[in-house]
Structures are given as C-alpha cells and as structure tokens.
Amino acid sequence: MKTRTTTGEVPGGFAFPIEAARHSSLAAFIACAAFALLATGCSSYKVLPQPDAESASSAEVCIEKGMIVAGEVEPGEPALLFYPGALVESEAYIPLAQAIAERGIAVVIVPMPFKLAILGQSRGERALKRWPDAQFLIGGHSLGGVAATGFALKHRDRIKGLVYFASYPTGNISGSGLPVLSVYAENDGLATQEDIDKSRSKLPADALFVEIEGGNHAGFGSYGTQKKDGEASIPASEQWRLTADAVEAFAGSAFH
C-alpha cells in the first residue's frame, strides 16, 4: 500500500514530511528531521546571559527530574508546560518562565531530544507523572508550539489550554474545544503576521490573539539574534513582561 507524502510548513521556516511523522519509525523520522535541518543550514542557538533580568526576578528556578521549573507547581494552581523552539537551549527561556512565574503561574520547561520538540512530543508526560494532581496549560515557542499541540490533544483530561508563542498548528484544531492563546510579535520575521492571520481559521473561533508591539521571534527567549528574524524595537525584558501579562490573563479564563 502506497502512502502519499506531503510536507508541512511549520513555524521557523522548516518543512517536514508530515506522513513520515505519522507512519514511519522514530529512527526514520529523526533522519528526515535531521536532513531537513541540515539542508537549511541551521545551527543551534546558545543561551545569551541576562544577569540583570535573572537577578531582578523573584521567581526561583530549580531542576526537577531533568525539567527546568520556575516557581512551584502546586495542586489547584495554574502551571504551564513549555516546549522550546527548534535548536534553542532550554535555558534560554528561563527569563520568560520567571516573568510568568512571578504572576503565580509556575512554568515547567521540558528539554527535548536533539533540541527538537517534534522528536519529544510525549516528553511532557514526565511532568504529568511528577505532578499528578496539577492541571496544566501547555505552550511552545515556534516549532515547540507544533509539538505542544499534539500533546494537548492527546491529554485533554490534564491540559486546560494551549498557548502559542510565535507559533501555530500545522493542522486544523478549530473543533478541538481547547482554549487557545496566540502570542505573536510585530517584527517577527519567521512566524510573520501573514502566518498568524492564516492560522486563525485553524484555531477555535474564540481563540485569543495578542500582538507584542516591537517584539520579534527571538525575543521570546534569550539566545541572541536569529537568521531571517526582524529587528526588535523593544528590550527582550519588555517582551517577556508583555508576554507574561497575556499568559496571566489567559490562564484566568482557561482555569475557570
């Protein structure tokens, strides 16, 4: 039986074989993903230290079973599972996680194999097992948002909402019933305004969209400039603050 292979464009400008992800072995899919990344000449993004931002934050950061946790995950309190963008160090999202945690929403950053969330979509299950009485939102930056979508759909009993950070789904989830927040940046050269507009029809009708004026794609993390990205006209710390405000407002509605 022959299977037609199609490619899907995902945030960050990558194109992956969709049928390969669905039907082939993990080893074959890793090969496809690695080839696609090598073909685009991609290299990993290292953490850009932000000592002032981290020292000013009141949110503590610790490591729990290999996951980076900002704040404390407690039963009955909102928490966010976070999937990093492709080839970005997990630690690069600590400043954003701290900004969100300062608003009473603990953040669990889930490191990914080969720094590719599409190869570790189920990694969030570690957090569900570690905190069995917690209810989570899940979100991801760029390609991480694509993987977060699949996880959310599979774990509807534990996931109360989905947050896209400069991201969008590859398929149509408009009928999923999931509360959705899409946070995007005005000067993003990778998840562009056109991309975000096109994604609206794939999301539930009541999805919320928040634009970070002056922000860009890399500004959701702390890893420096990114190829093909636009130039930010606001400090990264301001982008983190505005993003955290949006997540706080969304969590208030998603958990009630």
Percentage of the chain beyond pLDDT 70 is: 79
Total of domains in the chain: 1
50 is a domain residue: yes
For residue 50, name the pLDDT band (cuts at 50, 70, 90): low
User: What's the whole-number mean pLDDT along residues 139-152?
Assistant: 98
Q: Are 124 and 147 a contacting pair, CB within 8 Å?
A: no
Let me know if residue 223 belongs to a domain.
yes
Looking from the CA of 243 toward its CB, the CA atoms found within 13 Å total 35
CATH code: domain of residue 226? 3.40.50.1820
Mean pLDDT of 104-123: 97
Rounded to whole angstroms, the Cα distance separating 184 from 192 reads 8
Is 33 within the bounds of a domain? no
The predicted-structure confidence for 158-177, as pLDDT tens digits, reads as follows 999 999 999 999 999 999 99
Crossing angle of the two packed helices 94-101 and 236-254, in degrees rounded to 10: 50
Does the residue 203 lie in any domain? Answer: yes
Q: Is residue 35 a part of any domain in this protein?
A: no
Mean pLDDT of all residues in 19-37: 45
Residue 46: the pLDDT is 63
3-state secondary structure 44-81: CECCCCCHHHHHHCCCCEEEECCEEEECCCCCCCCEEE
pLDDT given for residue 76 in this prediction:
85
pTM score = 0.84
Q: Render pLDDT for 206-229 as a digit per residue (tens, 0 to 9).
A: 999 999 999 999 999 999 999 999
Answer yes or no: is 22 within a domain.
no
Q: Residue 194: CB partners within 8 Å, gap ≥ 6?
A: none
- Amino acid identity, residue 13? G
Burial environment of residue 47 by CB neighbours within 10 A (0 to 12, 13 to 18, 19 or more): middle
Range of the domain at 232: 45-254
Over residues 32-43, mean pLDDT: 48
**Is 74 domain-assigned?**
yes
pLDDT at 131: 97
Distance CA 229, CA 12 (A): 9
